[in-house]
Structure formats: structure tokens, C-alpha cells
Structure 1
């Protein structure tokens, strides 16, 4: 079978190659891969900046944003042939730490977790893949064209969960939310904000292309100015920061209303210096009872939340996020950005 592989730590090693088909264990699903999403993490691995191959190997099968259809399932499992499924990315560490032992492996304390397509376990970027039933999540069949959006949706489902958990330390009835960044994560964060019944505002730098229309179709408000200009007197109760741009990260912390909560989901590059009024920032956070929280990855609870959110969403709106579908044979093209890209996916079916 064909798979999209890379040699972590090596530039220009991305390739589609023939690999052995996996054999399903007694507690595993055998799955026909339909598609994978391509995100910034995949591009970093392909550039040799990140990633770990499985022990004893020098190449890693990419793909952590999965979608597939069950070919076979163990007797007595909750899965049947034909079910639409995604595979969970992270696995708990073998020790395990306290968080992993309680199913919160997204909060692993010792860093010994592994991740499909990222860290020491092959990903889902192959025509056939296997996954333990405990780490597979069933999707509504109506999501067959867009279900690879599940994994990034889990990331923002967790972020929203964290926001509401923090907010509920006191009276909390948020009305407005600002999302910085209109990439896939930002747009999915906006979707969940709208589903929470909030007045959602999305900030991005582009003035044309599909992003403003995608935001408008959510009945949210699109902005392409500075944070201060976009927010004005809004003073959002919640900010979901989805860019990782250093200046936006700090700006986001300063524009909330009292008891504001900022969830950081974008990962910033190192080595970029900024001048920040740390005293003023600290003063605002303390005197306004504000909170800032970082959020990454997801556990099984967040996958279930994401599945529910996608099932409730307009399929046409979800499909509008996918601006390019690249066949597996040409998968390397998905790693080169094109104008108006929002979400790029690689299709895995042999017919493509």
C-alpha cells in the first residue's frame, strides 16, 4: 500500500512510498484511509524541524488529522464495517503519570506520551491503517467529506472547555468572544463560539479571499484591522488566540473586559523579541481578575465534544473550509501554500 512518509530531522525527505499493510490486533479496527488534513505541525516535520520516527526506524508515516472507514472490527466492539471513524492522536505514557492514569493524556506531566504521525508512532497517512478501539471515535456519516476536520476541532473543543471551567470559578455569563486568526483552528473556534450562543468576532489580516465570507456565513463579524481597532469598546469576555503571533498574543491579553479569559492555542516561534509593558499587563490581569490559559492537544472527552459540534454544524459551511483536496500521489503539493488556502487535505482513496 502507499503511505506519506518522512524522515524526521531531515529536510526534503517527504515522499509517497510503498509500505507493508498493517495487521489488525485482536482489539483493533482495520480502516481504509479516506483523507488526512495537513497542518503546521506536519509542515514542521516535513521541514526537518520536529518529529520522531518509531523506535528502530528512520521514517515516520505522517498524518494525525485522520478520517477513514472501518473495514473490519473486533466482535463485541461498538464498531461495524462501514463506520466512519477518526483515530485519536495522543497515547498516554507507559509509566503512567497521574494525568495519563486518569485519562487526561493531553495533560501528560512527564512528556513520555507518544503521538500518531508525530512522535514515535506511525500516523494515519496511508491507504490502510489500524487503531485500537479505545482510541477510535465514530463520526456521523454525513461528515464523510469533512470529517478530517475532527482533530483540529478537538483542539478548540478543549480550549472552550478550559475557558468555561475557569469562568465557573465565579459568576460567568459571557456574551462576546474574539478569535484571532482565521485559519482552520480559528474558524473552528469561531464555530464553537457561535454554538455557545456568543457574539463572535474574528480577526485576520486578509481583506479578500474566502475567509471573510466563511466568517460571515457563521453570522460572526470579520475584522482585518489591529486588535484595538477591531475590539473598540467591545471588551470581549473571551479571546481565543489561534495565530501564535507574539504581538497578537500580548494584545489579546489587554483587550478583554473584567474577568476576561484568554485561551492561547497558537504555538509561537522562538527567538523573536518584543517590547512589552510587563508591569501594565500584570496590573490589568490582577486588578481585573483576568485569566490566561494555554491549551494544546485533546483527550477522548474532547473528541466526543468535537464529534457533537461537527454533527450540529452546517456541512456546507464545514466544506467551505477545505479549499484544496490533493490526491495521495501528489501529496507533496499539499505542503506548499497557495493563495487563498484555508484547509488543505490529502485524499487517500486509491480511486483518487
Structure 2
């Protein structure tokens, strides 16, 4: 079968890879849709995503929906043709983080399409990916499988919103990309009083304003940012841009003593952490998700706003064009690949 294999920086190939036998609890899927994530783009551009460094060729992809082709001997509830959304996280269930209910911090986490460990965990951008039964969320036969593939990034957004505590709050979100835009919707669904999304790109601001119906702010407008810093208008912030300037802005524009949740991966320099001291800011990390995935599947299928988050679709064979589209943040929010993509 064919798969999207990253061999190194700027070296993404559509390779033929062998199919393996199923374990008792494993399921073989026919990929229907796969969403290209920012981490996929980082692997292609740099050969790494955050602290996860590519050391061997690896199949990319962790935002998936598909239909069951074959199930292992111990799987009795998934018939061929059953549509599923795929949770890419498979925690060990036994380490102290798992026992404490913080499965996203599992010491032996296997996350699809991740080079965090060696051997790397193969991703799902393959014609017939194999997953564990526990990773499959069964969908209705008529479910929109493109929207179902948004469940993973929406889970990340929902976890950040849960970490932030937004009910009744004035919320600032820095970064209008996929996670920022989905965080805006998740914050509204969680009862935020007002949501403002800041981004330096006008196209991103226009897109998120239309998608989520929220206020937007030009993050490149120094005068506007200075005015907000002088008289903060936000109770909590979610930093989704992954930029030092964006975190500095978030810390300066929330009320003293407020909480800032960092969900975007940051560079290693340029951050003014003195703001944590002088303004007694609470800075929290937000990594992947814990138990938000099933609820995220329901949310993305129920909330029609999320259909507009999908701005590009490419046939599975169009790897180069698909990744070029996904990298063009002036035009696209979420780009999908898959068997059905060319027909939609």
C-alpha cells in the first residue's frame, strides 16, 4: 500500500510500504480523510516537531477517519465498512501519570505519526492504516467523515480551554491558525463571556471572525497592544501561535494574576518571563488531550461552524500539492487528504 513517509527535512515521499498482520486487538482501516497538522508540516520542513526529532523514516499523520476493512480475532464489535474516528493516542495505562488520570503525560505514550520515541510510532497517512480497537470511535453510517477527522485538533483546543477555565471570562487567544480558531469555538461552547483572537495576518483574522463569530485583533498593531497592556481587557489567555512575541503579548494583556495557557510549541529564546513575576501571571502548559476526544467527535459532527474550518481537500495521491496547500496559511486553515477528497 502507499503511505506518506517522511525521510528527512524536505524529503516527503509517497512510498509503497508492506502491510502487516493484525494483532488480536488491532483493526485495519481504509483511510477516508486525514488532516494535515502543523506538526506534520514541521517534520517535512525541519525533520522535527518540537522536541521530537526524526531519526528514521516514518509514516506521518494523526488526524484520521476511516472505514473498517478487517478486525483482529479479539475485536467483535467492528464489522467491515463501519465508519470510525481515530484517537491517535495510546497510553500505557500503568505508569503513575496514567494512574493519576493524566494519560496525556504517559511516560510510554505511543502517538501516531510521532518521533518522540524510537522506534517512532507510525502515523495514519496510509491507504490502510492499522490502529488499536481502543483508538476507534464508532460513527453513524451517515457521519461526515471529513469533520470527524477534525476531532483530534478540536480535542487539543478543548483541553487548552479546560486548562484555562473560561466560563464567564473575557478570553484572549493569540494565533488564528487551526488550534486558535478551534479554541475560539471551544471557548464559546464552554461559556466564555467574550472571545478575541489576535493574529498578525489579516487573512487569518478574517477567517476566524467568519468561522467563530468572535472579535479579532491585529497582533501587529503596536499601539492597540500597548493600550491593552495599559488597561487589560482579558481574564484569561490561550497562546496558540507558538511565538515568543505572542506569549509576551498574552502576558501583558491579561489582568494581573490571570492565567495564560500555552498550547503552541515555542522557540527557545525571546520570551520575557519577568512578566510572570511582576504581574504574578499563572502560566500553564497544555499538551494534547486527556479524555476530551469522544466529546470532541460529537462536537465536530454537531457544530456546523466546524465544516468551514476545512478549507482544502486533496486526493491521497497529491501529497506534494496537499502539503503545499497546508503550508499556505494565508489561504488555508485545515487541509484534508483522502480517498473521498478529490470528489468533494
TM-score by length of 2: 0.84
Q: How far did residue 71 of structure 1 move?
A: 2.5
Q: How far did residue 262 of structure 1 move?
A: 1.2
1:52 and 1:60 in contact (8 A); partners too: no
Unaligned runs of 5+ in 1: 168-172
Q: Say whether 1:212 aligns with 2:206.
A: yes
Q: Say whether 1:13 aligns with 2:30.
A: no
Q: Which has the higher contact order (CA 8 A, sep 6+)?
A: 1
Unaligned runs of 5+ in 2: none
Aligned residue runs from structure 1 range 1-352, under 5 A: 1-7=1-7, 10-50=8-48, 58-73=56-71, 77-92=76-91, 96-102=94-100, 104-108=102-106, 110=107, 112-119=108-115, 120-139=120-139, 141-164=142-165, 174-198=168-192, 199-207=194-202, 209=203, 211-225=205-219, 226=221, 229=224, 232=228, 233=231, 235-270=233-268, 272-273=269-270, 276=272, 278=274, 281-285=276-280, 290-299=281-290, 301-314=291-304, 317-336=305-324, 337-338=327-328, 339-348=330-339
RMSD of equivalent CA atoms: 2.8
1:22 and 1:128 in contact (8 A); partners too: no
> For residues 217 and 158 of structure 1, what CA distance do their matches in structure 2 show?
20
TM-score by length of 1: 0.82
Q: How far did residue 37 of structure 1 move?
A: 1.4
1:16 and 1:328 in contact (8 A); partners too: no
Q: How far did residue 327 of structure 1 move?
A: 1.9
Distance 1:214 1:80, change over 3 A: farther
* Greater CA drift, 332-341 or 261-270: 332-341
Aligned length: 326
State the SS of the aligned residue for 1:310.
helix
Which digits, 9 at most, give the CA deviation of each residue in 1:259-305, with x for residues without a partner? 522111111123x435x371x541311xxxx4210111123x12123
> For residues 91 and 75 of structure 2, what CA distance do their matches in structure 1 show?
24
2:31 and 2:126 in contact (8 A); partners too: yes
